[in-house]
Structure 1
Amino acid sequence: MAEPVIAILGAGPAGLRAAQALAEAGLRPLLIDEGARAGGQIYRQPPPGAERPAADLYGFEAGRARALHGLAAALAPRVDYRAGTLVWGIAPLDGGGFALDCLGPEGQARLGVDRLILATGAMDRVLPFPGWTLPGVFTLGAAQIALKAQGMAIGSRVALVGAGPLLPLLAHQYAKAGIRLAAVLDVTPLAAKLAAAPGLAAIPATLAKGLWYTLRGLLRGTPVRGGVRDLAVEGAGRVEAIAWRDARGRRHRVACDAVAASFGLRSEAQAADLAGCRFVFDAVTRQWQPERTPEGRSSHPRVYLAGDGSGIGGADMAELLGERAARALLADLGHPRDAAREARLDRGLARQIRFRAALEAAYPYPHHLVARIRDDEIVCRCEGITAGALRSAARDRDAREVNRLKALTRIGMGRCQGRVCGHAAAEILARALDLPVDRVGRLRGQAPIKPIPLREPA
């Protein structure tokens, strides 16, 4: 019998480890990635000709980055690698399997596959605040991409704002690159980090790295502030300053020419939605995620899940999940199992899960930002929809679920398909209705999941 066609979506840590496990079992998977070079976000490679020393790009993770980049090169003869390729649609095939609608360097293609491993990663979680639509305001992830991939900063005097571990990491990376930081503003309280410290000790090396980034920044004079509230970016047509209140209610303002702000991460789960996976609500991260077993199986018998696309866990956990999901797939195909290796992976994943729970507690969800979103604040930049319009739809037009809200207001119908605005819209709707946020549902995935030229499907 012919071997099944297996496609892996994403060539970050999870996708590469999944590809390695399948290749070692004698299979030749499709490895499809939007990036021009393998590595994902955390181990993003600069364009050819613009390389810089790994220590400058990845810091403590330079060794891991080099190992994964080397793995990608070693796998090249044993996988069908499609770089720079977007899977924008997934449809079921009669008799099982999927048709993948792809847009790559050679144009549009439709690929038939038997099974999927989805390692689609994550993106910044965005919440609106005054001035967030001014030119010069980026996400933390975009600011990191600029530094890693283009070797440039988003400004010459930069303010960073966040609610997660990416904030101190990016502050360290920008300071090391010689960028002047106007402020580093953490919208979560210091007390939460102190309370979570025992749980963070589940992985001492990772805790030590986080402390080093923070202490190094303080020794450099980086203006780090915690418990920040009432954010506002100021400027006439461009970023000129950022203002906030501290935990004691005192008002502060510093001049800057660029701001990077995001408030944790959200899974890129559109592909899982199109593939027919069942979703569950995670109350800690306040987002819907495709249901995943510890071994990486989804609710669909032909779909496997790995990495941040099915639950935020970070790069180390993504590597473990990538291999674990591939081994689950191989077992389902009847390949011999390595029980000892699976047990080691399961133990590693259990430690990562304990650490991640403590990390989420250290950076709790910033409810205070949602509570202060004004009626005139733009929520959906694509369609120009304000928070007031969403509240009005809930109050006057019986919008009690986010897809109904979408039909009435066009929220989530623009270029991002709700990837940027959908989370905030659900939070605003839930507050307007005085309901738990999971009760208002989630925006259903639609193809194309990202913008494509109209000529391609034609």
Structure 2
Amino acid sequence: MSRPQPLVVGAGPAGVRAAETLVRAGLRPLVVDEAPACGGQIYRRPLVKDERDARALYGSEAGKAQRLHGAFAALADRIDHWPRALVWNLRDGRADIAVAGESRAVAYDGLILATGASDRVLPVPGWTLPGVFTLGGAQVALKAQGCAIGQRVVFAGSGPLLYLVAWQYLKAGVKVAAVLDAAPFAAKRHLLRGLALAPDIVLRGMRFAAELRLNGVLLRHGICDLALEGEGRVAGVRWREGRRERHLFCDGVGYGLSLRSETQLADLAGCAFAFNQRDRAFLPQRDSSSRTSVRGVYIAGDGAGIAGADAAELAGERAALALLEDRGLPHAPERAADLERKLARIGRFRDVLEAAFPFPAQWAARVKDETVVCRCEEVSARALRNAVHDFSLDEINRLKAVSRIGMGRCQGRFCGAAAAELLAVETGRGVEAVGRLRSQPPVKPVPLTLMPREAAE
């Protein structure tokens, strides 16, 4: 019987470069991705080809997007690619994959997780109203479907993505009413330190902000107590700056607070986790070569900590080189060392960005009781606070058992961070002390009609 294939989960920047590296070494990996085409979130392709060119879709990153798409296309006859497929479980060296209406159990020899990230959201009043999207969701609508989330849009939250998506909407001809940044303006001084590490990125971000302001977009910093208002659909935003309360009318809101790593599969694979202060989250442990604590399991890209698309490409290649080394195949140690140096530099720049866009740690103490935290199970902040005190809880999985937080369709992917922050404040502990939600299969909803089929080995 032939040796099982390496399995690459995700066809974004990390997954594409990992697959490319494995192919160069003579292996034929299986690449599984939920999207219909490669690119990930950052280089997402339109669902239906339209008149927009690469420059219109990806801006200054058009060249990188085209190179990545081209690299993956060149692998077509040397890999197995399953698009629109979901790895929903990992067990005993096999992956359960939902594809084409059935569940296939696939054995693998070497697993590279390039699962990426999703928006981090801290719930605010009105965040479940129609017309309210995450920043990533607003970006998907524009890139993949060529439509906007409203005619007069407000973008709120924090992080570099806030300004990027607002600028993309501005360039698409949408009326951007305001950009409301939870980070204080004084924090932006940290970006000056980033000029030595990544001048192009810092200057590009400054250009986005300048163009937004020159086009009449209201830019506010240090906002708090954000509330989204409307009957049947979002119709306005309200926020506070110091003692002053302000309001704007709008019919669409993009909201998010940086990104959070997708780590469920790493958990199911048995990887060890540790709390990362910078990302304010538990992340799978990996060394500089992208090896995890589980032999034969590697993790690359934002799924192991937020670092961006450039870092994801480098980390995908580095993970593949580690897999090759562990198989006893040629693995270019000089190239591996160079990749590690470049990733370390990007990591230092990521520290700068976190200082410039700090996490709004005051949210948990200020969120109103009636705010829905878990929209799947309709669990409010009041219900969580009551559960903590009524049952003397100090651990997130016990809070889940009592309140049903994280038991819905998202499995805690969107409410888990908020619940942990609330639990930490209510118990007077650090968020690292309350633990993390344990992942369970399926990592995302799968149809009850999914038919099992054992894939040929």
Partner residue in 2 for 1:12? 12
The alignment partner of 1:427 has SS state of helix
Alpha-carbon distance between aligned partners in 1 of 2:311 and 2:215, rounded to the nearest angstrom? 31
Partner residue in 1 for 2:68? 68
The alignment partner of 1:78 has SS state of coil
* Contact 2:191–2:202 under 8 Å retained in 1: no
Partner residue in 2 for 1:388? 382
Question: What's the offset of the Cα at 1:342?
Answer: 1.6
Question: What's the offset of the Cα at 1:223?
Answer: 1.3
Residue 227 of structure 1 aligns to which amino acid in structure 2?
A: G
For structure 1, which segment, 127-136 or 292-301, has the greater mean C-alpha deviation from structure 2 after superposition?
127-136
Task: Encode CA deviations 1:317-349: one digit per residue, 9 max, x unaligned.
Answer: 000000001001101111123232122212211
Alpha-carbon distance between aligned partners in 2 of 1:456 and 1:200, rounded to the nearest angstrom? 51
**Within 5 Å, which residues of 2 pair with 1:110-189?**
110-189=105-184
Q: Does 1:24 align with 2:24?
A: yes
* Contact 2:194–2:202 under 8 Å retained in 1: no
Residue 451 of structure 1 aligns to which amino acid in structure 2?
A: P
Task: Encode CA deviations 1:402-452: one digit per residue, 9 max, x unaligned.
Answer: 111111111100000000100000110111111111111000000000011
Alpha-carbon distance between aligned partners in 2 of 1:171 and 1:201, rounded to the nearest angstrom? 26
TM-score by length of 2: 0.97
* Contact 1:200–1:359 under 8 Å retained in 2: no
Partner residue in 1 for 2:426? 432
The alignment partner of 1:144 has SS state of helix
**Within 5 Å, which residues of 2 pair with 1:16-95?**
16-50=16-50, 52-92=52-92
Structure 1 residue corresponding to 2:311, chosen from 317, 331, 334: 317
The alignment partner of 2:77 has SS state of helix
* Contact 2:4–2:107 under 8 Å retained in 1: no
Question: What's the offset of the Cα at 1:201?
Answer: 3.0
Alpha-carbon distance between aligned partners in 1 of 2:413 and 2:170, rounded to the nearest angstrom? 30
Partner residue in 2 for 1:201? 196
Superposed CA RMSD in Å reads 1.3
Q: Does 1:294 align with 2:291?
A: no
Task: Encode CA deviations 1:106-137: one digit per residue, 9 max, x unaligned.
Answer: 52211111220000000000101111111111
* Contact 1:120–1:307 under 8 Å retained in 2: yes
Alpha-carbon distance between aligned partners in 1 of 2:443 and 2:333, rounded to the nearest angstrom? 38
Alpha-carbon distance between aligned partners in 2 of 1:251 and 1:174, rounded to the nearest angstrom? 26
The alignment partner of 1:77 has SS state of coil
Residue 63 of structure 1 aligns to which amino acid in structure 2?
A: G
Question: What's the offset of the Cα at 1:251?
Answer: 1.5
Structure 2 residue corresponding to 1:270, chosen from 247, 264, 277: 264
Q: Does 1:228 align with 2:237?
A: no
**Within 5 Å, which residues of 2 pair with 1:239-278?**
239-246=234-241, 248-278=242-272
- Number of residues of Structure 1 aligned to a counterpart in Structure 2: 452
* Contact 1:30–1:81 under 8 Å retained in 2: yes
Alpha-carbon distance between aligned partners in 2 of 1:50 and 1:65, rounded to the nearest angstrom? 17
* Contact 1:3–1:27 under 8 Å retained in 2: no
* Contact 1:200–1:355 under 8 Å retained in 2: no
Alpha-carbon distance between aligned partners in 2 of 1:434 and 1:13, rounded to the nearest angstrom? 40
Partner residue in 1 for 2:324? 330
* Contact 1:200–1:358 under 8 Å retained in 2: no
Question: What's the offset of the Cα at 1:77?
Answer: 0.9
Question: What's the offset of the Cα at 1:51?
Answer: 5.8
The alignment partner of 2:406 has SS state of coil
Question: What's the offset of the Cα at 1:194?
Answer: 0.6
Question: What's the offset of the Cα at 1:457?
Answer: 5.1
Alpha-carbon distance between aligned partners in 1 of 2:135 and 2:322, rounded to the nearest angstrom? 34
Question: What's the offset of the Cα at 1:225?
Answer: 1.1
Partner residue in 2 for 1:95? none
Partner residue in 1 for 2:371? 377
**Pair 200,432 (structure 1): closer, same or farther in 2 beyond 3 Å:** farther
Alpha-carbon distance between aligned partners in 1 of 2:48 and 2:191, rounded to the nearest angstrom? 41
**Within 5 Å, which residues of 2 pair with 1:92-107?**
92=92, 98-107=93-102
Question: What's the offset of the Cα at 1:211?
Answer: 1.3
**Within 5 Å, which residues of 2 pair with 1:212-227?**
212-227=207-222
Q: Does 1:359 align with 2:353?
A: yes
Q: Does 1:456 align with 2:442?
A: no
For structure 1, which segment, 249-258 or 336-345, has the greater mean C-alpha deviation from structure 2 after superposition?
336-345
Q: Does 1:282 align with 2:247?
A: no
Alpha-carbon distance between aligned partners in 1 of 2:236 and 2:73, rounded to the nearest angstrom? 45
Alpha-carbon distance between aligned partners in 2 of 1:51 and 1:67, rounded to the nearest angstrom? 20
Question: What's the offset of the Cα at 1:75?
Answer: 0.9
Alpha-carbon distance between aligned partners in 1 of 2:272 and 2:262, rounded to the nearest angstrom? 15
* Contact 1:50–1:150 under 8 Å retained in 2: no
Alpha-carbon distance between aligned partners in 2 of 1:48 and 1:130, rounded to the nearest angstrom? 35
Structure 1: unaligned runs, 5 residues or longer: 93-97
Question: What's the offset of the Cα at 1:374?
Answer: 1.3
TM-score by length of 1: 0.96
